[in-house]
Amino acid sequence: MPKRTDIRKIMVIGSGPIVIGQAAEFDYAGTQACQALKEEGYEVVLVNSNPATIMTDEHMADRVYIEPITLDFVTQIIRKERPDGLLATLGGQTGLNMAVQLAEAGVLEAEGVELLGTPLEAIEKAEDREKFRQLMQEIGQPVPRSAIVRNQAEADAFAEEVGFPIIIRPAYTLGGTGGGIASNWREYHEIVERGLTLSPIHQVLVEQSIAGFKEIEYEVMRDADGTAIVVCNMENMDPVGVHTGDSIVVAPSQTLSDEEYQMLRDASLQIIHALGIQGGCNVQLALDPHSSRYYVIEVNPRVSRSSALASKATGYPIARIATKIAVGYRLAELKNPVTQDSYAAFEPALDYIVTKIPRWPFDKFRSANRSLGTQMKATGEVMAIGRTFGESLLKAVRSLEIGAYSLWTKQSDKWSNVELEKKIRVADDDRLFAIAEALRRGVTVEQIHDWSKIDRWFLWHLEALVDLEQRIAAVANPRLPIEQVLDEHRELIHEAKRNGFPDRELARLLKADAMAIRAWRKRRGIVPVYKMVDTCAGEFAASTPYYYSTYEREDEVETSARKKMVVLGSGPIRIGQGIEFDYCTVHAVWALQREGYEAVVINNNPETVSTDFSTSDRLYFEPLDVEDVLNVIDREQPEGVIVQFGGQTAINLAGPLADAGVRIFGTSRESIDAAEDREKFDALLTELGIQRPEGRTVTTVEGAVEAAESLGYPVLVRPSYVLGGRAMQIITNTNELLQYMEEAVEVSQQHPVLVDRYVNGIEAEVDAISDGETVIIPGIMEHIERAGVHSGDSIAVYPPQNLSEDVKRIIEDHTIRIAQSLQVKGLMNVQFIVHDGEVEVIEVNPRSSRTVPFLSKVTGVPMVQLAMHAVCGGKLADLGYQSGRVPESPAVAVKVPVFSFAKLHQVDISLGPEMKSTGEVMGRDLVYEKALYKGLLASGIAIPAHGTVLATIADKDKPEAYPLLREFARLGYRLAATEGTAKYLRERGLEVRVVNKLAQGTPNLADDIRQGKIQLVINTLTKGLKPERDGFRIRRTAVEHGVPCLTSLDTVRSVLDIMKLIHFQTMALGDPVPGEAGGEGE
């Protein structure tokens, strides 16, 4: 059946902001969907609140709406655009939930919009736990047994039938309080009894435990005719019990026999037939390692993170094909875009092994509970391809950018044996390294298997890698020239390279220099070749420009004689370096192509658009480490490398690459250094006569104290070379400073610490494009939260609402002069602080920043394209631009950060200099308050129309908080507060209900939050580093119960602005007119 001609216009719903569990993979899926639909000639209407994505680029769809994905807004867009069809299976859970809401609200039916692809009924059957279990029983697919029991006898009957281990969950207790896993009768009776007591309705859910089973996933596709295929299967190294998003995953499965592979394949296909899926689907299964028993864990009736991984792992573009199926095509009618010759109805054959490792945010959230379980915690992931397990695994390890280049890390030697056992038993982010270290210390594979239940296949392979490591270390001989050592052990070195060992690791083991090893290798011809990812293991000719390195014989890269440039991507999504940089990388590729170059991309993030092989002229799926990048450069011989679009990852490579003789295009390495090196930067600003908050660089604790005292508290302290404000703190006294110096940083000659005067003012930010002469400023953004909150966590407004024309002019002048003086070629980001009309520069980043996509979209200036013109040596003046600000747009846009706090337990949600957000949304409207309303709504902050506001305010903030709270009262909100705050407010005439602090026993404010008596929490931090327990617990309780919690009074003020807008004002005659509240203290 060819494509449908009865539909003309199709709406696509995206997945909104990046949060843990829903990341860049949906930009990749959504972008493919839009491209596939346009290719077929449909008119595409896109709704997504996330401005940092490629899919929300103006040319991706015919109509792009960056609006909140809520029932009201999407309904409004549907009524305006009148699409014939809706495609909602490519926007993650957000898109799917929106489709269900639209259907349930009757909007689809009323407006005549057809849901395309997998039918609603199938979605419901897959998503509803009970309906799904029932369906599995009907078709004879095994699911773990479970029952609800009300007493010990019922519990015993279940256990007799099912056997141990059994998971026990008391009904209606939050976060599973009182539950557990029982592996014998004694434990079972104990936990069941406790659970029955704790459960308010005296019910306990008992379920057969499958923890320790192998976790296997199948990515499947099905069309309306019932043709179904498996694109890829994947095996989690971590057995059932660790969320698949937090597991190390390999593709294809490694430890399954054909019989098992086919058994689970049959099960997956039977399930999608029974559900009636039309498109892509993910099936998760658990396989008993001791028999061939299996259980179905769950099904995702849509594209997912796993499907993005499977697409990159195989070359098979799942989202693109799923989209075509949704508009009526059958699999057998669609060509395989990789071979162009065979069809989409086939199953990819891999001739390599793929490893995925999650990237966790624990470097940012040091207080977070790092143990891994059923709640996903990773923000992103890396993927690597190799022809041996070692090659694939070790490439993935060094792609993580966590300072590990092998199975050894700096912590390895420091772990005690007890710690090792704990890390292996209870999985955490270090487990892989802990296993390697345990093997080094002689712990047996059997023992580790017993602790971790990880299949011995993986453990034996890890043991072989550790063994190889030790064999290399054994031949180290620092008395001989390294060349001689290497020559004598040439086969061993070759074996190490074939198993993925980087030169850095060989250098560590042989106590030599990595570049010397590299030079020797090149002389001896031990260099990688590049092989193609072609979906078919070489069976058919393909010309996919998608490659990975390996140490074998035949190289398959087909280069051309055209001039080319290498663009470095930004690696895994992490806090501080998100999808924005992938947006920039993709635009950099397009811009290069427009400039007449071939664009070669190196990146390792499977979730992104930049690693879609159809994006660039050639894609190298490789680690972004010096050796791997240099290898690609050796092979490609480009004119140069572009580092300014791949975030700090790429910028950090500029130095080592330049040292190796590679030409860095764009802003020179010296200029990058001048902006990043504190002293050089200070000298530059002094020369230009530009002010900056006074600061010192210190290398000792005493030096820090001295600096702080001479600058005067408060001070801002941070290590030099930071990403996303890591370990940055505002310090108010010497005690705090000493504590910080001891706990948060390592200070030394090599690791200086910066101490700056803290200025309490308005932060503003500029992204500029420069060719060294002309400096274009597309726009200035103002931050709502005052300085001290990381710019990535602040709400940013364009155009600025509170900056005078004079201030704007000064910002413009400073930006132009800095760019010219640094001879910036390309993008530059400058952060300012405005205080009493004075403008000071906080920092300059000579690269693209996280605001580039936002600013490009709201100003319409093609920023990356212009930057690339300058990078390639072109003049901006030739394109008709002149230095200075581009006229401001009449519409107001706000960028609102989005956090993933609900997923990360024990993480404080209060905002500070350290970045915590994972994503962002945009709100845009004709007036500021409406734009902000949309932004907050899109970010998931439900602004209550009435109810109770709970205030716990630090003493220093009380005068500022009072008028704001008075305003809430005037709008009809009830106030509740802890004793001190309540007293302060009552003295000023406000009616306040006093609530107990946590220590004052129950019922206290946490109970009120839990019981839904509080609709908004305002909590400001008392100064101090130790997270005070009360505030921390109040904030966590709010997050875990979905109650908005504001920790900055600036944000509170903005929320009030909105509330005033959405409320009609009812006033009695003679009342003071509200809104005049600002500033007054009494």
Partner 1 sequence: MMVNGRRKARLVLQNGLVFEGVHFGAAGTRFGEVVFNTGMTGYQEILTDPSYYGQIVTMTYPLIGNYGVNVDDVESRHPHVRGFAVRTFCEWPSHHKLVDQLESYLVQHDIVGIAGIDTRELTKAIRTVGAMPGVITTEDLPVESLLARMDEALVPDAVKRVTTQTVYRAPGAGHRVVLIDYGMKAGILRALLERGCDVIVVPATSTAEDVLRWKPHGVMLSNGPGNPEDAPYAVEALRGLIGKVPIFGICLGHQLIALACGAKTRKLKFGHRGANHPVKDLRTGRVDITSQNHGYVVDADSLQGTPLELTHINLNDGTVEGLVHRHEPVFCVQYHPESRPGPSDARYLFDEFIDLMTRVREGRFAHA
Binding region for partner 1 (CB under 8 A): 225-227, 229-230, 252-259, 261-262, 265-266, 269, 289-291, 330-332, 341-343, 345-353, 387-389, 455-457, 460-461, 463-464, 491-492, 495, 531, 536-541, 552-554
Radius of gyration of the chain (CA): 29
The SS3 call for residue 231 is: strand
Shortest approach of partner 1 to residue 620 CB, angstroms?
17
- Indicate the residue among 164 and 540 with the shorter CB distance to partner 1: 540
Q: 424 or 592, CB closer to partner 1?
A: 424
Residue closer to partner 1 (CB basis): 233 or 577: 233
Residue number with CB closer to partner 1 (554 or 987)? 554
Q: Are 665 and 639 in contact (CB under 8 A)?
A: yes
Helix (H) or strand (E) holding 486: helix 482-488
Q: CB of 486: closest distance to partner 1 in angstroms?
A: 16
Tokens 């005033």 label which residue?
1060
CB of 621 to partner 1, least distance (A): 16
Indicate the residue among 220 and 861 with the shorter CB distance to partner 1: 220
Q: Which is nearer to partner 1, 395 or 808 (CB)?
A: 395
Q: Do 921 and 68 touch, CB atoms closer than 8 A? A: yes
Residues 501 and 465: their CA atoms lie apart, in Å, by 9
Kindly state the tokens that stand for 608.
């992104």
In the complex with partner 1, the residue whose CB is nearer, 491 or 1082, is 491
The answer to whether residues 915 and 724 touch, using CB atoms and an 8 Å cutoff, is yes
How is the beta sheet containing 564-568 ordered, strand by strand? 529-532, 546-550, 618-621, 598-603, 564-568, 640-642, 664-665
Query: Between 265 and 364, whose beta carbon lies closer to partner 1?
Result: 265
Q: Which is nearer to partner 1, 499 or 615 (CB)?
A: 499
Least distance in Å: CB of 471 to partner 1? 10
Question: What minimum distance in Å lies between the beta carbon of 455 and partner 1?
Answer: 6
Nearer to partner 1, 429 or 463 (CB): 463
Q: How far is the CB of 229 from partner 1 (least distance, A)?
A: 6
**376 vs 536 by CB, closer to partner 1:** 536
How far apart CA 660 and CA 870 sit, in angstroms, is 24
Q: How far is the CB of 531 from partner 1 (least distance, A)?
A: 6
Q: How far is the CB of 696 from partner 1 (least distance, A)?
A: 56
Shortest distance, position 261 Cβ to partner 1, whole Å:
5
Choose among 237, 246, 217, 223: nearest CA to 310.
217
Closest distance to partner 1 from the beta carbon of 262 (Å): 6
**Looking at beta carbons only, is 250 or 397 nearer to partner 1?**
250
Is 432 or 715 the residue whose CB approaches partner 1 more closely?
432
Joined tokens for residue 1030: 């009360």
Q: Name the minimum Å distance from CB 182 to partner 1.
A: 25
Give 321-381 as a 3 state SS string: HHHHHHCCCCHHHCECCCCCCCECCCCCECCCEEEEEEECCCCCCCCCCCECCCCCCCCEE
Residue with tokens 């845009």: 924
| Angstrom distance (rounded) from CA 745 to CA 901 | 24
Question: 5: closest CA among 45, 42, 46, 44?
Answer: 42
Q: What is the DSSP string of 487-516?
A: HHTHHHHHHHHHTT--HHHHHHHHTS-HHH
Residue 550 Cβ vs partner 1, minimum distance, rounded to whole Å: 9
Residues 205 and 148: their CA atoms lie apart, in Å, by 5
* Shortest reach from residue 871's CB to partner 1, in Å: 36
Which one-letter amino acid corresponds to residue 110?
Answer: A
CB 874 within 8 A of CB 598: no
**Least distance from partner 1 to the Cβ atom of residue 420, Å:** 22
Residue 17 or 280 having the CB closest to partner 1: 280
Start-to-end Cα distance in the chain: 74
Tell me how far CA of residue 132 lies from CA of 124, 543, 649, in angstroms: 8, 42, 43
Helix axes 514-524, 626-636, angle to 10 degrees: 30
CB of 358 to partner 1, least distance (A): 23
Contacts of 1000 by beta carbon, 8 Å cutoff, 6+ apart: none
Compute the least distance from the CB of residue 235 to partner 1, in Å: 11
- Of the two residues 349 and 877, which places its CB atom closer to partner 1 in the complex? 349
Burial label for 686, CB within 10 Å (0-12, 13-18, 19+), is exposed
Q: Which is nearer to partner 1, 148 or 332 (CB)?
A: 332
User: Which DSSP category does 1064 fall into?
Assistant: P
SS3 state at 44: strand
CB-based contacts of 1060: which residues, under 8 Å, 6+ apart? 929, 967, 971, 1074, 1075
Residues 622-645 as b/e (b if ≥16 CB within 10 A, e otherwise) read bbbbbbbbbbbbebbebebbbbbb
